[in-house]
Amino acid sequence: MPLLGELEREALRLSLTIALRSVVVSLPLATLAAWLLTRVRFPGRTIFDALVHLPLVLPPVVVGYLLLVAFGARGPLGGFLERTFSLHLVFTSAGAALATAVMTFPLMVRAIRLSLESIDPGLEQAARTLGAGPFDRFLTITLPLTTPGLLAGAITAFAAGLGEFGAVITFASNIPGETRTLPLALYTALQQPGGDAAAARLAALSFSLGLAGLLASESLARWVRRRMGR
Amino acid sequence: MLSVRLRKQRGPFALDVAFDAPTPGVVALFGASGCGKTTLIDLIAGLLRPDAGRVEVDGEVLFEAGRADLAPERRAVGYVFQDARLFPHRSVLGNLRYGERRAKRRAPTASFEEIVELLGLAELLARRPHQLSGGERQRVAIGRALLSRPRLLLLDEPLASIDRVRRQEVLPYLERLRDRFRIPIVYVSHQFEEVLRLATHVVLLEAGAVSTQGDVASVSRSGALHTLLGPDAAGAVVEGEIEAVAPPGIASVRIGEGVISIPARRAAVGRRVRVQVRASEVVLAIEPPRGLAQANLLEGRIAALAPEATGSQLVEVDVGGPRLLSRASAERARELRLAVGQKVWLVVSSAAVRGDFPAS
């Protein structure tokens, strides 16, 4: 008997791809949000800060529901995406990735923000006196020095995204082969008589995945610190 | 010519400064901490915006209130920060190339190889900033600023974060920098020894304003400097040429019409040196003293008399061009009845002489 059955393999594949897609989508946006929150004074900054953090405190079902309202076929954004890009989000893996991205967004912003705040603004000033304009400075000084935060944010968001449940099931439903990720498969197994063994295997799989993620993130962080000489 | 007129209000602190200094050369901004030195060079670099004023370097206007305000990245002003501020994610080479790559349109100050050689950086190129000593870090920062082909170089106490012993890793390089390139340099310091060694022009700052300025010799005789350094450190800075070296390590230096002998490490006949002669170690006589070696006896006329807070007098004596200071106690000054224009003799003990620095 192979290590992983058909059921586990599919759930694992979906969990990994959906989490990965969510990270790819949210990383640039989270970087932008973190940069705005640390470097720019603008009206409504406090409200923006609260909005970014809202998914941390809202019940995930509420986030899923709000996504349904906004991105549903008749919602303001969903209708637009449907017409212009023929992009369906509800009940698709793309939708699951979106829900995951929204849920893990605050984690990512926090990690990047911490990293941004720890950069000595004097370094950007030094780059300025050496002839670097704003965009140049961002690309050559700020962004590379934020790498530890970007990596930490991406890994944390990815690991958390693997287990996103409430928002995904509400917005993208529980469709085998499309949106049935590890936690959803585990939940489904528990609903079925005799599904205990399958549930245990899925739980063990989630556990090892989470542990591997944490270890990887720790050793990556150490590697980055060594490179930066801290 | 470096011409600076700047005003800036920062909370309760007001800076109002004006000076003109010849270029090329080293302008030392000297003053106690908190007198506005760093604020002033931040204004020159454009990192702070002045309330009013004008900054001009060799005919290029960097700032003029209401008319011109070049962004720091367009000023071509090299800035060596007190804490070096090397980019931690780049190697020494990466740091050096950073400014150079962005300055391709200006004529180079010197070739990359020449600057690396001058500052002794060849061994360090592959290292990362955290693997450097404080002195090495400052040398890399100086190299990085020079390679950005600046029209003006600002150095903000580059030795402040380095311990005394390690300063020797940097000071000789700064002298070479001054003598090899024609870049005007503004050097911020609160160590008079550095000023003595490097400066061609001194601007003394006190609470945000210029209290005295001029060449090193004239500022060294000013009351404002003596107040700042304390009475014991008062002494005139003079320059002269080495006429003879004998015995080895002892140089006879011509000062005006006289000669003083000083211990000199790098003595060579014909070399110009700059020394400070401490006023309290210079004995003044109104008749030619007898029974003394000819060396270290100088003849001159009193050019000025300045009473000090303790009642003693600082006597400024013209020894045929250069001027020396001698301190006379209150009683002695009365007894000798000193007056401007009077002919006097000075006996300079070799303990009075500080420094043996190549003059620019």
The phi and psi torsions of B187 (rounded to 5 degrees) equal -120, 115
Chain A neighbors of B78, CB-CB under 8 A = 129-130
Cα B349 to Cα B243, B263, B295: the distances in Å are: 18, 11, 10
According to the model, what pLDDT value does residue B63 have?
95
Q: Do B88 and A145 touch (CB under 8 A)?
A: yes
B74 — pLDDT class (breaks 50, 70, 90) = very high
Contact B278, B326 (CB under 8 A): no
At B162 the pLDDT is 82
Instruction: Please check whether residue B87 is in contact with residue A141, taking contact to mean a CB–CB distance below 8 angstroms.
Output: yes
pLDDT of residue B165: 78
Q: Which of B42, B95, B98 to mutate to test the interface with A (most CBs of A within 10 A)?
A: B98
| B197-210 confidence digits (pLDDT tens) | 899 999 999 999 99
Interface of A with B (CB under 8 A): 120, 122-123, 125-133, 136, 140-141, 144-145, 147, 227-230
**pTM value?**
0.84
- What ranges make up the beta strands (E) of A51-206? none
Chain B residue with minimum CA distance to A230: B130
Residues A103, A106, A109, A115, CA torsion sign: negative
Tell me the pLDDT of chain B averaged across its residues: 89
Of A8-17, B97-106, B269-278, B286-295, the one with minimum mean pLDDT is: B286-295
Average pLDDT of chain A is 89
| Interface touch A133/B73, C-beta < 8 Å | yes
- Which amino acid would we find at residue B109? T
Q: What was the ipTM of the complex prediction?
A: 0.85
Q: What pLDDT digit, counting tens, does each position of B304-336 carry?
A: 998 888 888 899 999 988 999 999 988 888 888
* pLDDT-based confidence at residue B52 (cuts at 50, 70, 90): very high
A:B CB pairs within 8 Å: 68
Taking only the tens place, the pLDDT of each residue in A75-134 is 888 888 887 887 888 889 999 999 999 999 999 999 999 999 999 999 999 999 999 999
* Chain position carrying tokens 């012993």: B165
Q: What is the pLDDT of residues B211-262, one digit of tens each?
A: 999 999 999 999 888 888 888 888 999 988 899 888 888 888 899 888 888 8
- pLDDT value at A61 more than 80: yes
Nearest CA in chain A to B80: A126
Radius of gyration of chain A (CA): 20
User: What is the structure's pLDDT at B311?
Assistant: 84
Nearest residue to B113 via CA among B93, B128, B84: B93
% of residues, chain A, pLDDT over 90: 62
CB A203 within 8 A of CB A34: no
Which chain B residues are within 8 Å of A133, Cβ to Cβ?
Answer: 71, 73
Residue of B nearest to A130 (CA): B99
Start-end of H helices in chain B: 37-45, 72-75, 92-101, 112-118, 134-147, 171-180, 192-198, 216-220, 223-229, 330-336
Mean pLDDT over residues A214-225, rounded? 81
**Nearest residue, CB atoms, A130 vs list B47, B128, B144:** B144
The chain A residue lying nearest B153, using CA atoms, is: A129
Domain ranges of chain A: 7-228
| Rounded Cα distance, A131 and B126, in Å | 23
To the nearest whole Å, the CA of B76 is away from the closest chain A CA by 7
pLDDT per position as a tens digit, B169-188: 788 888 888 888 889 999 99
- Asked whether the beta carbons of residue B85 and residue A120 sit closer than 8 angstroms, the reply is yes
Chain B: residue whose CA lies nearest to A122: B85
- The rounded Cα B12 to chain-centroid distance in angstroms is 29
Measured between beta carbons, which residues in chain B are less than 8 angstroms from residue A142?
A: none
Q: Which class in CATH covers the domain with range A7-228? A: mainly alpha
A99 within 8 A of A23, measured Cβ to Cβ: no
Residue A56 has pLDDT above 80, yes or no: yes
pLDDT at B294: 61
Q: B127 to chain A: nearest residue by CA?
A: A229
CB B272 within 8 A of CB B240: yes
CA distance A228 to B78: 25
Query: With pLDDT > 90 as the criterion, what percentage of chain B qualifies?
Result: 54
* pLDDT band with cut points at 50, 70 and 90 for residue A1: very low
Predicted confidence at residue B323, as pLDDT, reads 94
User: What structural domains and CATH numbers belong to chain B?
Assistant: 2-229 (3.40.50.300), 235-358 (2.40.50.100)
Question: What DSSP string runs through B257-271?
Answer: TEEEEEE-TT--TT-
The nearest CA of chain B is from the CA of A128 a distance in Å of 5
Helix (H) or strand (E) holding A102: helix A93-117
Which among A128, A136, A141 is the nearest to B87, CB-wise?
A: A141
